[in-house]
Amino acid sequence: MKESVGNPLHLKSLNHISLVCRSVEESMNFYQNVLGFVPIRRPGSFDFNGAWLFGHGIGVHLLQSENPENMPMKKKINPKDNHISFQCESMGAVEKKLKDMEIEYVRAMVEEAGIYVEQLFFHDPDGFMIEICNCDNLPVIPLGGEMVRSCSRINLQVLQRQQIQQVVQQ
C-alpha cells in the first residue's frame, strides 16, 4: 500500500465509540453521572437494547450484551491497556470527585522535555478504561514536521493544513 500524507479518507472527527455492556442502565448512569454525558435519541429501527449518549464532542453508544454473565470481569487498572482519554480543566478537582464517588483509580505522570502531564485511570462498570489528563500541556510534534502547540482540535486543523501544503509543494 502506498504511503499517504494528509487526510486520504477526508475524515473530519471521531464520531463515537461503541461499548458492549452487562447493563445498559448501569453504564448510562456511569457515563451521565461520572463523565457528564447526556442521553440522545437513537434510531427507533434498532431491534436491540442500547443507548446513545453525547458529550465532550463525542458519542458513546452502549450496546446490551447478549450474554452479560459471560463478559469478562474487571481487570486490574493498567494504564497500558485500551482506553479513551479526556482532557480536564483541573486534575485536583477530578481526583477529589473520584475519591468522593469511591471510584478506584491509578495516578500516573508523563514527563517530556520538562513538560509534565498528569493522568488518572479508572474503569467504567464493564472494565473499559477511562483516562483523565491535562494532556493539552504536551505539544503534538509530528515526526516529520513542525511543532503544533497542543492536542486541541484547532491545532490539529493547523497541522492538517501544513501537511497539505507540504504535499502540494513537493
Active site residues: 131
The 58-64 sheet, strands edge to edge: 16-21, 58-64, 50-55, 38-40
Q: How far apart are CA 158 and CA 170, in angstroms?
A: 19
Distances (CA, A) of 116 to 47, 138, 153: 47, 8, 20
Which residues make Cβ contacts (< 8 Å) with residue 159, sequence separation at least 6? 140, 142, 145, 148
Which residues make Cβ contacts (< 8 Å) with residue 73, sequence separation at least 6? 127
Paired strand residues for 109: 118
Residue pair 109/117 in contact (Cβ under 8 Å)? The answer is yes
Q: How far apart are CA 134 and CA 86, in angstroms?
A: 8
